[in-house]
Structure 1
Amino acid sequence: MSVVVNKAEAGKMTVAKFGGTSVADYQAMLRCAQIIKNDTTNRVVVVSASAGVTNNLVRLSQENVSDAERSQLIADIARIQFAITEHLSCQQTLDIEINHILTTLTQCATQQSLNYTLQQSDEILGFGEQFSSRIFAQVLQSVGVNGQYFDVRQIMKTDSLFGKAQVELNELATLAKSLLTPLLDEQVIVTQGFIGSDAQGNTTTLGRGGSDYSAALLAEAIEANNLSIWTDVVGIFTTDPRITDQARSINEISFGEAAEMATFGAKILHPATLIPAMRQDIPVFVGSSKEPDAGGTRIQRQVDSNPTYRSIALRREQTLVTVKSPQMLHASGFLAKVFTVLAKHQLSVDLITTSEISVALTFDNPHGSTQALLTKAVVEELEQLCEVSVEHGLSLIAVIGNKIHGTKGVGSSIFDKVNDFNIRMICHGASNHNLCFLVPEADANQVVERLHDTLFTH
């Protein structure tokens, strides 16, 4: 018997998002299905690709993939998905559907090897969520929840900037109200994160990690009351628990603090996730699908505690670009020229510091990207304006908290403990919530561990 929302809770809606490890295999999906069943306010479920699938798709989307490697990658994807469907009573019907998608994937991957395009890359990368959403809808059915597959590309309309497409928000809101909201009274909709479609119907992607963002956009579009992000850890931690076993879960955190954490490397949330939630004041819960009763982190506009230090975020694979020109001295317009070049190539600067004749800029190189963001063409265009130096192999460390720029002793509390490391760049004062600096990648873990011991343990 299917579970539907009862009349008393008809006015409440939660969008639940499950990450790749949460839908990695049958047992993981079954745990997620129970989470949905136990709270009938869950009306929309957004899923990532099953763990392991996206990495294979990233490789398939690249150039120079041999026939043998392509076959092996697709076989690995099939193995992951069929290991889940074999537990379902509808296995035969579902496997036919999965095989059909695998055939289409094979055709796309073969075409990509013959004629590489970014458009084809997005098409390939979008297959993972198509598999997992179809399968999870059937897992929901198996536990008595009326779960139904929904292709998010019907409503998640974007531009044609393949690889990092921008969502057309007004169109999303309109289409969600007409095509999605009417379905929610009698069924739980299972759909995809990460993907959308442009005006020509081509599949687009919002960038790796965009499943959280998709869920937040959908929550905004259907005017949901809550957004739940289910992952493999119990909420947001004071730092990455893989770096120090002293890291501890945070019960509550403000939108402002969480946005800084997401921006500066906390892997638990995609940086853009909180923007729709903040626009509509939708509380966000982050918890573990493996331990749904163990609590988690609540993110909302107002919180009861506002400590000076809330967390330490780490973001690896940073590029530091220094542009230098005597023309900057007592001159106006130089920075505008530099940023015009960056805007032309659609590059976003993270940190910036200036001196009399030079400017230092940092750029993120997201793990798993299929192309370098700072290309040779960008550097060559900047070199027409000034002297350019580029440094790789750096990590960005951000101390997140409250009133950091107005609290005495913050600088000494932080830098006295790491004065035996080479600090490449410091950015402080632009935000009330963070102090950031760059260190060599080889030193990053040790710096974070030492700072965490100082700020959170003692």
Structure 2
Amino acid sequence: MNNLTVAKFGGTSVANFESMSLCANIVIGDENIRVVAVSAQSGVTNKLVRLSQAGVEQVERDQLLNEIRDIEYSILTDLGSPESIKVALDNLLNELKETANKPELAQSMPLKDHIVSFGEQMSSLLFAEVLRQRQCHAINFDIRQVLKTDSHFGKAEPQVELIRTQAQNLITPDLEKSVVVTQGFIGSDNQGNTTTLGRGGSDYSAALIAEAVDAQVLQIWTDVTGIYTTDPRLTDAARPIAEISFDEAAEAATFGAKILHPATLIPAIRAGTKVFVGSSKAPEAGGTWIVNKSESRPSYRAIALRKDQVLVTVKSPKMLHATGFLAKVFGILADHKISIDLITTSEISVALTLDNPPNATKFGGLPQEAIDELQAFCEVTIEDNLSLVAVIGNHLESGSAVGGKLFNALEKFNLRMICQGASPHNLCFLTPTDKANDVVAQLHSELFD
């Protein structure tokens, strides 16, 4: 197979039988697609996460289980309810119910990951049958045999070399005669416990599989026709990008473009795998190719927006001409596994940003223990209701010609914590969340229209 392709279909792409049928058209229409990774049906993972949480009353628990069953059974019914698939689906639903009612679930991270994995397991079971009913020889493969990780439940770290060995032994031999349908997002540790790669991890796991089976192409099928110059919901002027470099796409994903999971491109870059992003609803509309080196390298490629940001400022006069202050600050953050995005420093203070999504704990996951440790030697200020805007492109470190045009366009807006120069591919700043959409629309008009 000279152009071996791994295709990943997201939750909206496999939401129901009709959507799955469109995905089947894509697979059957491209003989190079030999591995398919699927997400759970749209909305199912949220219900499973809720099932795994503490304090869920039995009435709500039963309601969630029934809602999940209805989603899966709707597809099964459209498939004609073949007996073998019905039995396998019922086994999964019964195991899900049994696990969801275990009293130790609320305190057990392994059980939480196991609960959340059922969405992908049921999705792959049903999609493989959709393909088989279209005379495609498809097998439903449990990716937990291949995608080996550590035991950091909820956000497991893949063991790349072991994944490759397992994939070459268990997946590659079937690719000549079969399409291997499997699950995104999930794996297993060395003890056989189910693990997950974190929300959005289906893209990442598909990229890991593509790397492990030596695929030349990774297709990411979603509900939008590729990567746009900005989120089309923010401005009607947003337009699709035909080709973008790995560097630019990685910056866009990291700073808020939701088309790709930020980690997706890491295996693709390692392996030199070309990545295509397109819409399973309209594959004929084309999409975006992500390549090692793009033929065009404009100054401005895209604008990304990441809301729900927290700005943490640590300040101490003792920092003036002192050594070790930054090491102490970042050591505390590292001890509490706090991930930082932007950093700026002055003589006596450091400012940094943290994600603060709606389901996070207060202050972007910064625990009170970490705040107390920082306050032991410096003043700590925390601000929220901020958004991060990132301009993605090339040569953005090159000086006033680039920055001047950008900042002139935003002179009426309040900008915070401007970061430029660390990368030639991004220029970032914070702005109040209630103005963020207007900032992006104005900036897009200035840079792209």
Q: TM-score when scaled to structure 2?
A: 0.97
1:251-400 equivalent positions in 2, closer than 5 A: 251-366=242-357, 373-400=365-392
| 2:227 alignment partner, SS class | coil
Q: Contact between 1:157 and 1:196, CA under 8 Å: does it hold in 2?
A: yes
Residue 126 of structure 2 corresponds to which residue in structure 1? 135
Residue 416 of structure 2 corresponds to which residue in structure 1? 424
Residue 455 of structure 1 corresponds to which residue in structure 2? 447
1:160-239 equivalent positions in 2, closer than 5 A: 160-239=151-230
> For residue 392 of structure 1, what is the amino acid of its counterpart?
D
- Measured after TM superposition, the shift of residue 39 of structure 1 is 0.5
Residue 27 of structure 2 corresponds to which residue in structure 1? 36
- Measured after TM superposition, the shift of residue 173 of structure 1 is 0.9
Q: Does residue 124 in structure 1 map to residue 120 in structure 2?
A: no
> How many matched pairs?
448
What is the alpha-carbon distance in structure 2 between the residues aligned to residue 74 and residue 377 of structure 1? Answer: 37
Pick closer, same or farther for the CA change 1:419–1:240 going to 2, 3 Å. same
- Measured after TM superposition, the shift of residue 113 of structure 1 is 7.1
For structure 2, list consecutive stretches of 5 or more residues without a partner in the other structure: none
> For residue 304 of structure 1, what is the amino acid of its counterpart?
E
- Measured after TM superposition, the shift of residue 101 of structure 1 is 1.2
Residue 151 of structure 1 corresponds to which residue in structure 2? 142
> For residue 341 of structure 1, what is the amino acid of its counterpart?
I
| 1:455 alignment partner, SS class | helix
Residue 440 of structure 1 corresponds to which residue in structure 2? 432
| 1:23 alignment partner, SS class | coil
> For residue 389 of structure 1, what is the amino acid of its counterpart?
T
> For residue 351 of structure 1, what is the amino acid of its counterpart?
L
Structure 1 residue ranges (4+ consecutive) displaced by more than 6 angstroms after TM superposition: none
1:57-68 equivalent positions in 2, closer than 5 A: 57-68=48-59
Pick closer, same or farther for the CA change 1:352–1:34 going to 2, 3 Å. same
Q: Does residue 71 in structure 1 map to residue 31 in structure 2?
A: no
Q: TM-score when scaled to structure 1?
A: 0.95
- Measured after TM superposition, the shift of residue 251 of structure 1 is 0.3
Q: Contact between 1:350 and 1:361, CA under 8 Å: does it hold in 2?
A: yes
Q: Contact between 2:52 and 2:106, CA under 8 Å: does it hold in 1?
A: no
Please point out which of 19, 25, 48 is paired with 2:39: 48
Q: Contact between 2:99 and 2:105, CA under 8 Å: does it hold in 1?
A: no
What is the alpha-carbon distance in structure 2 between the residues aligned to residue 213 and residue 370 of structure 1? Answer: 25
1:304-338, Cα deviation, whole Å (9 max, x unpaired)? 11111000000111111111112211011111111
Q: Percent identity?
A: 56
What is the alpha-carbon distance in structure 1 between the residues aligned to residue 49 and residue 431 of structure 2? Answer: 29
Two-structure CA RMSD over aligned residues (Å)? 1.5
| 1:161 alignment partner, SS class | coil
What is the alpha-carbon distance in structure 2 between the residues aligned to residue 309 and residue 114 of structure 1? Answer: 48
Q: Contact between 1:61 and 1:112, CA under 8 Å: does it hold in 2?
A: no
Q: Contact between 2:393 and 2:426, CA under 8 Å: does it hold in 1?
A: yes
- Measured after TM superposition, the shift of residue 282 of structure 1 is 0.7
1:331-369, Cα deviation, whole Å (9 max, x unpaired)? 111111111112112222111000111101111234656
> For residue 355 of structure 2, what is the amino acid of its counterpart?
D
What is the alpha-carbon distance in structure 2 between the residues aligned to residue 380 and residue 203 of structure 1? Answer: 35
- Measured after TM superposition, the shift of residue 260 of structure 1 is 0.3
1:226-256, Cα deviation, whole Å (9 max, x unpaired)? 0000000100000000111111000000000
> For residue 347 of structure 2, what is the amino acid of its counterpart?
E
Q: Contact between 1:119 and 1:162, CA under 8 Å: does it hold in 2?
A: yes
> For residue 426 of structure 1, what is the amino acid of its counterpart?
I
1:365-391, Cα deviation, whole Å (9 max, x unpaired)? 346568963222222222223221222
| 2:385 alignment partner, SS class | strand
What is the alpha-carbon distance in structure 2 between the residues aligned to residue 241 and residue 30 of structure 1? Answer: 26
Q: Choose 280-289 or 82-91, whichever is displaced more.
A: 82-91
Q: Does residue 411 in structure 1 map to residue 420 in structure 2?
A: no
Q: Contact between 1:62 and 1:370, CA under 8 Å: does it hold in 2?
A: no
